[in-house]
Chain A
């Protein structure tokens, strides 16, 4: 399973490296979201600093949709999804590999967006460890849930529009918990923030287990 996961993750990351969709389209989109929020919310009133955590995670959430959509779009060309099924790869390995590739891209985006939040919104970093742990655990949850819903929508003609409908409500707990944890890390929160990380960890474990167990049947139906 782990060998298959590494193989699939390597393949997906190599495809992204060649196509540069993440660097040329997803990353500019994420930065654009931050900039547009800065336009929409008047920075002089200090609203941006207070809302920085939520805006960051909304930008991450939207970017994760693009990353997941892209992850399955490459399997839709020239029967590649059939090729993946025919390969005999362990479905759990395929799931873990695709989730890992999405997670790597999201982590890179989060670093970029983190810099954007500090530079554009003037946010101060009070709890770097909490901030990093929130990013790591949230990213696992986002990637795992995204890949589960991605394969669910993969075989449908309406997959582009269905994926956000399926995914956004399911990812609401991540948005909520990660925002609360980041508020603390940015000096805006009222609690320690670690209980939100625990919630994020539970979410991530649930979707990783669901993906490992359910990806095979979902891929067969896709």
Chain B
């Protein structure tokens, strides 16, 4: 019998994520400035922190979209510093963007994403039904959908793909109450099936109820782990400063940032 949501009871204790002093750059700014994080398979982890803390960057790094240039970064057993492409088929990312094609219909978008990921389309119908997309919305071009409906389509893609690692960046944003409830149920089901979920959310009550563990990131570093804390403006200016006002990074990070070898768009 599966354990409570977010726990690792009944699922493999293998590490889904292992980051050690991981550094990732956005331009010359260290978006991740030495992240240390372990997430076990089957965990639901809430990533919280103020705007600009590095939540999105960490999720994109986990998905292999943002290169990690220093430290250790392993996701689902893949060393992202050696090869960040091979992990992508095992990862589902719901970001600020939905990754959908405006001119394609809902069903065409989902079918393309599922086929592209190499997953079978056995869960496609179920995913569309769960997300309420199997009715009149099925053949509607995505360009005609509302923001919340687009978000549901993007979520349906992940549900249909059933990846090992779900990376959800503000997943509740733009969704109505019913859709948020569906999202929470979907996330719990996925975790019960053994998937690992890392979500970043400012919907504090919902997200903490969902997650078994809360990790706080600030200034590109993990500053708190294991217990939920309220997101407040940090007193340390190093924590919340925007990129252009950020203080000097640690020496090792600054060395990497100075490297002419690494260029990140």
* A interface residues with partner B (beta carbon < 8 Å): 4, 7, 11, 14-15, 18-19, 74, 77-80, 82-89, 155, 216, 220-222
Residues of B within 8 Å of A11, CB to CB, are 101, 104, 108, 112
Instruction: Supply 24 A–B pairs (Cβ within 8 Å), ascending by A.
Output: A7-B115, A14-B104, A18-B104, A77-B101, A78-B97, A78-B98, A78-B99, A78-B100, A78-B150, A79-B96, A80-B99, A82-B95, A82-B97, A83-B113, A84-B116, A85-B88, A86-B65, A86-B91, A86-B93, A87-B116, A88-B85, A88-B88, A155-B265, A220-B85
Q: Does B237 contact A (CB under 8 A)?
A: no
Given A82-B95, A88-B117, 6 other A-B residues pairs in contact with their CB atoms under 8 A: A11-B104, A85-B65, A85-B88, A86-B65, A86-B93, A88-B118
The answer to whether B117 touches A14, judged by C-beta atoms less than 8 angstroms apart, is no
Residues of A within 8 Å of B116, CB to CB, are 4, 7, 84, 87-89
CB distance from B211 to the nearest CB of A (A): 23
Q: Does B89 contact A (CB under 8 A)?
A: yes
Residues of A within 8 Å of B103, CB to CB, are 15, 18-19, 74
Interface centre among A82, A87, A155, A221 (most CB of B within 10 A): A87
Query: Closest residue to A86 on the B side, CB-wise?
Result: B88
The answer to whether B63 touches A78, judged by C-beta atoms less than 8 angstroms apart, is no
Residues of B within 8 Å of A14, CB to CB, are 104, 108
Residues of B within 8 Å of A87, CB to CB, are 88-89, 113, 116-117
Q: Does B102 contact A (CB under 8 A)?
A: yes
Residues of B within 8 Å of A18, CB to CB, are 103-104, 141
CA distance A200 to B261 in the complex (A): 37
* B interface residues with partner A (beta carbon < 8 Å): 63-65, 85, 88-89, 91, 93, 95-104, 108, 112-113, 115-118, 141, 150, 263, 265
A-B contact count (CB 8 A): 75
CB distance from A106 to the nearest CB of B (A): 20
A-B complex: 3 closest residue pairs judged by Cβ atoms: A79-B97, A83-B99, A88-B89
CB distance from A2 to the nearest CB of B (A): 14
CB distance from A156 to the nearest CB of B (A): 9
CA distance A59 to B197 in the complex (A): 52
Interface centre among B93, B112, B113, B150 (most CB of A within 10 A): B112
Query: Closest residue to B141 on the A side, CB-wise?
Result: A18
Residues of B within 8 Å of A222, CB to CB, are 265
CB distance from A71 to the nearest CB of B (A): 12
The answer to whether B118 touches A15, judged by C-beta atoms less than 8 angstroms apart, is no
The answer to whether A74 touches B101, judged by C-beta atoms less than 8 angstroms apart, is yes
CA distance A84 to B88 in the complex (A): 10
CA distance A146 to B50 in the complex (A): 43
CB distance from B18 to the nearest CB of A (A): 21
Contacting residue for A15 out of B63, B98, B101, B150, CB 8 A = B101
CA distance A88 to B263 in the complex (A): 22
CA distance A14 to B96 in the complex (A): 25
CB distance from B118 to the nearest CB of A (A): 7
CB distance from A189 to the nearest CB of B (A): 42
CA distance A74 to B99 in the complex (A): 11
CB distance from A131 to the nearest CB of B (A): 34
CA distance A15 to B85 in the complex (A): 26
CA distance A111 to B108 in the complex (A): 29
The answer to whether A79 touches B89, judged by C-beta atoms less than 8 angstroms apart, is no
Residues of A within 8 Å of B141, CB to CB, are 18
CA distance A220 to B263 in the complex (A): 11
- Given contacts A88-B89, A88-B117, whether A79 and B112 have CB atoms under 8 Å apart is no
- Given contacts A7-B112, A7-B116, A88-B88, whether A83 and B265 have CB atoms under 8 Å apart is no
